[in-house]
Amino acid sequence: MRPTISSSNPSRRPGLFRWLAVLSLSVFLAACGGGGGDSGSSAVSSSSSSGSSGSGSTSTPNAQPIAATASNTVSITVGPGAQNFVNIPNVSVTVCAPGTTTCQTIDNIQLDTGSYGLRLASDAAAQILGSLSVNTSTSGGQLAECTQFADGFTWGTVRTADVKIGGETASAIPIQIVGDMANTTVPLNGCINGSNESTSRQLGANGILGVGVSVTDCGASCTDALTSNYYSCPSGTNCTAIGVPVAQQVVNPVTKFAVNNNGVIVQLPPVATTAATATGTLVFGIGTQSNNTLSGATSFRSTGFGNLSGTYKGTAVTTIVDSGSNGLFFTDSSLPACTSTFTDFYCPASPQALSATVRGLDGTTTTVNFTVNNAQTLASSGTNYALNGLAGSIGSFPTLFDFGLPFFFGRHVFFGIATNGNSPYVAF
């Protein structure tokens, strides 16, 4: 899930980060005999960089598995998930009323390194919602948030909860509940962008766990009503934009863990082309204990929202590494688009071996090799949910290169969070 991007600014409003959502592929699997959709964004093959820094180095996989057995780990599953979408990495999250044992464990929460904060579909969190009170804005109304995606938006209240993932707990943090407010309450200004993704079916998951490199979902920008995602809703209606202090914004849960709070590692096994499922591990913390050392990888300093730079076929591109995108999204007119309902995806007659460079703000550079496979062929079985080489067009964002989930196959990918004065980074 990545930002709505303009050609000149990686934000819809100055300084305000948005996500490029899972592009709707509900027709994708349905057209191939499957049972539902796919969230779509770019596909890159499993070429990862454990490599050296410096111009011209070529990335290679660094895929020794990490067992999801320690308290700072949780299992990742790429499979049917909540809605039969392909290439969706899912984890389980337990949400509790603050300071109590009144809890609900919710499976099939999409792991998203391109966003920040926990967002739960209200229909999937029905057991716990009555125990989570809605937060109050500084003007006294109910606090709600509108989160923009490239193909739509999520709208719902902000509530406080204890969030438990694996053996880690973030206590009393703000989270967003999606779809718990009537459609008639959606603000007419500053929110509506495409469809209202208010259910687990529309999200393609029971929620989104944003664990990228930022602490909160929009930071200083949202302290000003003119650039805020947040709204005050007296009596749950008549919602108006409002500035929200950073401490009250939806927060990256990892930053509120007691110890392993400075980043995450996403590890998925290699997938040759397709597999029914793929199981990996999300590790919390980097360099905080023996199972999360930063080794066998090259670090690339990023912007505060995880953006890198690079080139593809001689064109400069903003580069993102995003588990919330189900493939690689980039612009290449030489790759034929699929026909009919697959037109957002590439369908070359044979696998295409390609490469792109990735550059950090610190100048560290590497070359990532990847393969683009025929999207229709990948999805043809209707029973495989881990698809390597799935790729699509970035459409109106020609200077963006999105390394989505297939990039993660066969790699350890590190996301260092911008906390305690540390610079954010991505490493692989």
Q: What is the pLDDT of residues 308-356, one digit of tens each?
A: 999 999 999 999 999 999 999 999 999 999 987 778 899 999 999 999 9
For the chain, domains (ranges, CATH) are 17-63+261-427 (no CATH), 74-256 (2.40.70)
| CA 256 and chain centroid, separation | 19
CB atoms closer than 10 angstroms to residue 204:
29
Helix (H) or strand (E) holding 169: strand 168-178
User: What local confidence, expressed as pLDDT, does residue 57 receive?
Assistant: 43
Please report which confidence band the pLDDT of residue 172 belongs to, taking 50, 70 and 90 as the band edges. Answer: very high
Q: What is the percentage of the chain residues whose pLDDT exceeds 70?
A: 85
User: What local confidence, expressed as pLDDT, does residue 59 receive?
Assistant: 53
Placement of tokens 């390194």 in the chain = 113
- 152 and 26 Cβ atoms separated by less than 8 Å: no
CB atoms closer than 10 angstroms to residue 160:
16
Please report which confidence band the pLDDT of residue 367 belongs to, taking 50, 70 and 90 as the band edges. Answer: very high
208 vs 49 pLDDT, higher one: 208
Please report which confidence band the pLDDT of residue 70 belongs to, taking 50, 70 and 90 as the band edges. Answer: very high
pTM of the model: 0.87
- 209 and 251 Cβ atoms separated by less than 8 Å: no
Task: Write down the H helix ranges in 272-410.
Answer: 375-378
Instruction: Give how far Cα 354 sits from Cα of 5, 123, 141, 365, 376, Å.
Output: 24, 42, 52, 17, 19
- 416 and 263 Cβ atoms separated by less than 8 Å: yes
Residue 225 pLDDT greater than 90, yes or no: yes
